[in-house]
Structure 1
């Protein structure tokens, strides 16, 4: 069943992306490119450059083995997909359809390079346990006629954040234009009216200190560790946490972190 569902996602990409490309070009990634990416992808994560003409990895970071158990020389997009359970693959397919709709029916070709796509998904870890991953991807090259040629993707283990929902996808502007946040998979297609349902950012009313605490919470630090890192008392940290949940209208930390992920804040 999982093989069938993963093949459906692959066939979707082949139909909507690969079939539009008549030539296979290689992306030239400089040493500096990899240095910058490595700095932005700490911890239990890996990244790759995906060629859309044949859905092959032109580069994949060795950390893929640490995160998934798949050796980098054996890694394929199919093997990454098959790590997810059936229900998650069904969600991934729906989210990918929303992404395709956004890219081809809504976004202009000249804006392809200026949006980051984010969603969470569940899969098996190297030791076979369940883990939650955050995918962040962006187009990094286009053909002369504007079609998508290469995509850069970063997959980060966010299991430590708790019960993060995976039924959403967000489109984050990288150049100050409108972002489209938290599109629910149940909608099945992109509609700008379904995005940004909350009129302001979830952190709009938070103080600098409260935002700092959210960042530390997202890194898996306990209240005790946050207190020690910020040189504040344990009770002060707990008070900050209560105020954060109240201001953001979140019932618990898991809901708070899920909303922050959807907005690209953490």
Structure 2
């Protein structure tokens, strides 16, 4: 099973270019310096290298968050990380990556790919043997000659697995107002979430609402009218059965939507 997953991953990210060198090392050194200033939290970040399935850097929060020796992650690379994923979700996770890559290569112009960010989720077993929900946000840093992402900055949010989340995948682009807009979202599996029917635009409104922005600020960020923002909020409240904004935001965060 896991060997097949490795082969499938290699097919998705196949490239003739193995990216190493001074440029990458310079970026890693800057991140290493920044990492010393970041407080401890239930998040960590890695620099991912899909050309050889390695982690060029793993941040200090990995070890206390996952209760796994950071050297195992650095030395073992992606194959070590995959070995701890929940086996029942691996095929679905691979399908989500294939869909994201296909969408990018078919629909996103080369000059726009540096403004993209991707999100997906899965479960990983921590050092205590407990499966945790992982929500991974990856932003491409470098591309090969075909415009395929090779190096990415990946941010991992670690949530307790009290609620098993269906696999979701999304692609967003940074607009002229420096706000991410959802271009692609897909939920996999038969079990639906309360927020499964939320549209791309409603999802973007929810994300900004969770950050504490007002209707007017959301309107400016997404270049839509205040009336449209209010309509999106009202529609989502109806779809989810939430009674107020606080309940709505809490639900969306818990279910990995925003």
Range class of TM-score, shorter chain: 0.5 to 0.7
Measured after TM superposition, the shift of residue 169 of structure 1 is 0.7
Measured after TM superposition, the shift of residue 164 of structure 1 is 5.6
Measured after TM superposition, the shift of residue 171 of structure 1 is 0.9
| Correspondence 1:25-64 to 2 at 5 A | 25-26=20-21, 27=24, 28-29=26-27, 31-34=29-32, 43-64=41-62
Tell me whether 1:16 sits opposite 2:12 in the alignment.
yes
Q: 2:239 aligns with which of 228, 238, 249?
A: 249
| Correspondence 1:152-167 to 2 at 5 A | 152-159=153-160, 163=163, 165-167=165-167
Bigger drift between 116-125 and 66-75 goes to 66-75
| Correspondence 1:186-201 to 2 at 5 A | 198=199, 200-201=201-202
Superposed CA deviations along residues 211-266 of structure 1, whole A, max 9, x for unmatched, are 649xxxxxxxxxxxxxxxxxxxxxxxxxxxxx99982632476743356x43x4xx
1:108–1:186 Cα change, 3 Å: farther
- Matched residue count: 219
1:49–1:203 Cα change, 3 Å: closer
- SS of match in other structure, 2:240: coil
Structure 2 stretches of 5 or more lacking a match?
A: 191-195, 214-232
1:41–1:184 Cα change, 3 Å: farther
Superposed CA deviations along residues 146-181 of structure 1, whole A, max 9, x for unmatched, are 342311111111228x52623211112123475225
Tell me whether 1:138 sits opposite 2:134 in the alignment.
no
Measured after TM superposition, the shift of residue 118 of structure 1 is 0.8
Measured after TM superposition, the shift of residue 69 of structure 1 is 3.5
1:114–1:207 Cα change, 3 Å: closer
Measured after TM superposition, the shift of residue 23 of structure 1 is 4.1
| Correspondence 1:61-210 to 2 at 5 A | 61-75=59-73, 76-143=77-144, 146-159=147-160, 163=163, 165-176=165-176, 178-185=181-188, 198=199, 200-202=201-203, 204=205
Superposed CA deviations along residues 18-42 of structure 1, whole A, max 9, x for unmatched, are x322343231316544455777886
> TM-score, with normalisation over the residues of structure 1?
0.66
Structure 1 stretches of 5 or more lacking a match?
A: 188-194, 214-242
Could you tell me whether the CA contact under 8 Å between 1:119 and 1:168 is conserved in 2? yes
Bigger drift between 37-46 and 58-67 goes to 37-46
Distance in 2 (CA, whole Å) between partners of 1:64 and 1:14 is 25
1:80–1:115 Cα change, 3 Å: same
Cross-structure match for 2:3: 7
1:204–1:39 Cα change, 3 Å: farther
Superposed CA deviations along residues 41-95 of structure 1, whole A, max 9, x for unmatched, are 8612221112222111111123322233432222121111121222121221111
Distance in 1 (CA, whole Å) between partners of 2:131 and 2:39 is 21
> TM-score, with normalisation over the residues of structure 2?
0.68
Bigger drift between 136-145 and 75-84 goes to 136-145
Distance in 1 (CA, whole Å) between partners of 2:208 and 2:109 is 36
Bigger drift between 28-37 and 51-60 goes to 28-37
Distance in 2 (CA, whole Å) between partners of 1:183 and 1:42 is 32
Distance in 1 (CA, whole Å) between partners of 2:140 and 2:50 is 10
